[in-house]
Chains A and B, each alone.
Chain A
Amino acid sequence: MEHGAWLTGSLIYLGAAVIAVPVARFLGLGSIIGYLGAGILIGPWGLKLVTRPEDMLQFAEFGVVLMLFLIGLELEPQRLWSLRKSIFGWGSLQLFGSALLLAFGALACGVDWRLAVVAALGLAMSSTAIGLGTLAERNVTATTSGEAVLSVSLLQDIAAIPILLIVPFLAAGGEGGAGPGWLDAAKAIGTIAVIILGGRLLLRPALRWIAKSETPEIFTAASLLLVVATAALMNAVGLSMALGAFLAGVLLAESEYRRELETDIEPFKGLLLGLFFIAVGMSIDFAVVAAQPFLIAAVVVAFLLVKAAVLWAMARTMPIPQLERPVFVILLAQGGEFGFVVFQVAANNGVISAPVSSFLVAAVTISMILTPLMLFAADRWWIPFLAGGRVELEELKVPQNEPVIIAGFGRYGQIVGRMLFANGVRPTVLDHDAEQIEAMRRFGWRVYYGDATRLDLMRTAGADKARVIVVAIDDIEQSIDCVKMIRSNFANATIVARARNVQHYYELHELGVRLIERETLDSALMSARSALEQLGWQPHQARNLALRFRRHNVEQLAALAPHRADEARLIAAARQGRQQLEELFAIERQQAAERQARAGWSGGADP
């Protein structure tokens, strides 16, 4: 019978998702609303195919954990460190600013103070799943607003810990004293220390050892085990599982297995996150909604407006580019899954009553359902309205047929574009950073708004007729996605690619790109020339040395491409190559010195 239940369950969930998501995407509503709709459809208030959504919700929350692990993988420790101000400053402002306003608002309406505090804290939280999921779906994680959403979400993850600890004390005559609190805090700090130290010292050798077994499914198992173990560890000491997974991700962001971990975890994340949204859809208690439809509508509208006001003020002062503000505000204004937990804990401890808890959960869920709809409306009306006649941020719609397409018009793409323009070539330029486009248009550039990793958009940009596509995107992952898409759909075009670093170079090389430039190589060599000249080298000699260094370096890089996965061999070969070059230059210097000596020239300051 167990098998039967498992099979029917899979049948229902997968079937609902497979039907609802494509329909929603086809209607232009995004996949999240598809999942939510599927959940409502199969839930207790729809076809009644599933009756206990809570179990599924708990299981599917793991999707959020996996998502945060993946986000962590994208964030090197230094970048996280550089976000600290944003996380603790703006994040706290959002959470506590919104909570304060909400609490005062509730008190003013005559609500009991305990309920006001719990509701305010719970409603001030936002849904990490929807926020970061939407960012990823729209490919805007790397923009100013994307980072701001990430910062606020992280702070909420961190803040959830003390909030969940405090809530029980709000109950009249709360149990627990200070002792266990301190103990818990010590345990929590200890666990985080274990994760950080373990991640730094043990994970990479362990992964290397596992990778050596060359059994792909075992590596996948290890990736999942890693996330599950971190989550379990955090859960055991009462910390946020997602936060633990995020930390583990950050610690592995610099490892050579990043890409593999990512591809292994990605499908699990996608499915579980989908399940999570389905479960949210199922768990709406329509009885509560039907009992007090106007009150619930009022609460939803009120808390969305209060949070939106705080967020809008933040967006103005940060500042977030005007055209990115609507998405930022909408993604963080909704309630989130942490709210569910806060209300549940509060109800279990008798701080609020069970019906009130269901009511608040329903309000949060409705706000989550509204989010994709609001985004849809914002894309249609709000953002174009903000854009006004000033910048027309509409996506590229008119088919282009220039011989060159430049994808990414930041520091790098601009120079490429200017040189082409100066020579009478008019490239079709794509970028998806609204701020960047605004700035470029002020300088008179015709830049189209669009995500260059999207097939339909590239087709409109004329990729099937273009002879050259310059991929100058600064985000490595998007650059790779873009190249893959071009290689498999527009084989006629030659790709000219910008590489952020050597690993990126190798990834591009592996995809068959041959015209790759590392973005810092040539400017660094010019600086090396300047330095040599200052030391007394003749300018022309410095130039020759730099050009020869460059050739050697590029040849060596290409020669090492087959071994790029083998770090030890790569290092050894790189060392050997450097030594060869040094020896070659040393021999030439010696010969030159001998020539000078024999010719009777004075060996002056000349090298």
Chain B
Amino acid sequence: MASTDPPAAAVDPAPSAGAEVLVIVAHPELEQSRANRRLLQAARALQGKLAPGRLAVRDLYALYPDYLIDVGAEQAALAAARLVVWQQPVRWYGMPPLLKLWLDDVLAFGWAYGPDGHALRGKDLWLVASTGGPEDSYRPDSYNRYFFDAFLPPYEQTAALCGMRFLPPLVLHGAHKASHADLAAHAAIYAQKLADYPDWPEIDAVEDCIECAVPSSARPTDRVVEPA
């Protein structure tokens, strides 16, 4: 990082809870990001243009630099939303650690899943991810060995267990090498979809979520561990 250009103050200006579209951003090195920083800026810019209560942006690494998540505030923001967006870079074929911790802490048993855990039922979940590797690296004959879709089941199943509908992800491959034009186009699509939701052409094709009720006999009643 160039010392002559100190990073702008990263403190979130009062993260607004209680909006229809809730964007959860998780990037551990936002200052080095090319794609996610653009996307975050696009979301914030859009937020200013939309009516209050339409869009909320929560930058997890800015809100919780010490990894101490305010569960109450997060659950309140989730409860108010219709669409939950996870905006993240793909790290080791999964999510950044703070987003995972957010899942562990916020999507609690008895709240997000399990008996009486219906807080998220009927909401939509949309993954907006970027990968460092180019699209053709996610092939059986390349170094990532699997098609990108092969890494999505944990996300899909998380949504399903909570009774959420998993919308088709928006993925930017090869973020390291994407041109400025590509990044700008990608950010524009992102902003457009956030603004249009739920009027997306593809949304009708998405099946309603599968009901996966966890029977109460499956575990000790208030055992809080990750869904297995």
Closest to B4 in A: A424
Q: Are B3 and A424 in contact (CB under 8 A)?
A: yes
Confirm or deny: B13 has a beta carbon within 8 angstroms of a beta carbon on chain A: no
Confirm or deny: A598 has a beta carbon within 8 angstroms of a beta carbon on chain B: yes
Confirm or deny: A599 has a beta carbon within 8 angstroms of a beta carbon on chain B: yes
Confirm or deny: B222 has a beta carbon within 8 angstroms of a beta carbon on chain A: yes
Q: Which residues of A contact B1 (CB under 8 A)?
A: 424
Q: Which residues of B contact A594 (CB under 8 A)?
A: 222
Confirm or deny: B180 has a beta carbon within 8 angstroms of a beta carbon on chain A: no
Bound complex: CA of A594 vs CA of B220, how far in Å? Answer: 10
The listed residue (B6, B70, B220) touching A595 by CB distance below 8 A is: B220
A595-B222 in contact given A403-B6, A424-B3 (Cβ < 8 Å): yes
Q: Are B68 and A548 in contact (CB under 8 A)?
A: yes
The listed residue (A423, A544, A548) touching B3 by CB distance below 8 A is: A423
Q: Which residues of B contact A591 (CB under 8 A)?
A: 222
Confirm or deny: A425 has a beta carbon within 8 angstroms of a beta carbon on chain B: yes
Bound complex: CA of A547 vs CA of B222, how far in Å? Answer: 24
Closest to A424 in B: B3
Closest to A403 in B: B6
Q: Are B66 and A547 in contact (CB under 8 A)?
A: yes
Interface size class of B (residues with CB under 8 A): 10 to 19
Q: Are A544 and B222 in contact (CB under 8 A)?
A: no
A544-B223 in contact given A423-B3, A425-B3, A425-B6 (Cβ < 8 Å): no
Q: Which residues of B contact A84 (CB under 8 A)?
A: none
Bound complex: CA of A164 vs CA of B1, how far in Å? Answer: 71
A587-607: CB near B (< 8 Å → 1, else 0) gives: 000010011001100000000
Q: Quote the shortest CB–CB distance from A597 to chain B (angstroms).
A: 9
Bound complex: CA of A599 vs CA of B220, how far in Å? Answer: 7
A598-B3 in contact given A547-B66, A547-B68, A548-B68 (Cβ < 8 Å): no
Confirm or deny: A48 has a beta carbon within 8 angstroms of a beta carbon on chain B: no
Confirm or deny: B224 has a beta carbon within 8 angstroms of a beta carbon on chain A: yes
Q: Which residues of A contact B222 (CB under 8 A)?
A: 591, 594-595
Bound complex: CA of A598 vs CA of B67, how far in Å? Answer: 29
B175-216: CB near A (< 8 Å → 1, else 0) gives: 000000000000000000000000000000000000000000
Residues 533-552 of A contacting B (Cβ, < 8 Å): 544, 547-548, 551
Bound complex: CA of A595 vs CA of B222, how far in Å? Answer: 7
A551-B68 in contact given A403-B6, A423-B3, A425-B6 (Cβ < 8 Å): yes
Q: Are A598 and B220 in contact (CB under 8 A)?
A: yes
Bound complex: CA of A547 vs CA of B220, how far in Å? Answer: 29
A599-B68 in contact given A423-B3, A424-B3, A425-B6 (Cβ < 8 Å): no
Bound complex: CA of A35 vs CA of B51, how far in Å? Answer: 66
Q: Are A598 and B68 in contact (CB under 8 A)?
A: no
Bound complex: CA of A403 vs CA of B1, how far in Å? Answer: 16
Q: A425-B3, A547-B68, A598-B223 are in contact. List 14 more A-B contacts (CB 8 A).
A: A403-B6, A423-B3, A424-B1, A424-B3, A544-B68, A547-B66, A547-B67, A551-B68, A551-B70, A595-B222, A595-B223, A598-B220, A598-B221, A599-B220
Q: Give 4 closest A-B pairs by Cβ, nearest first.
A: A424-B3, A598-B220, A547-B68, A595-B223
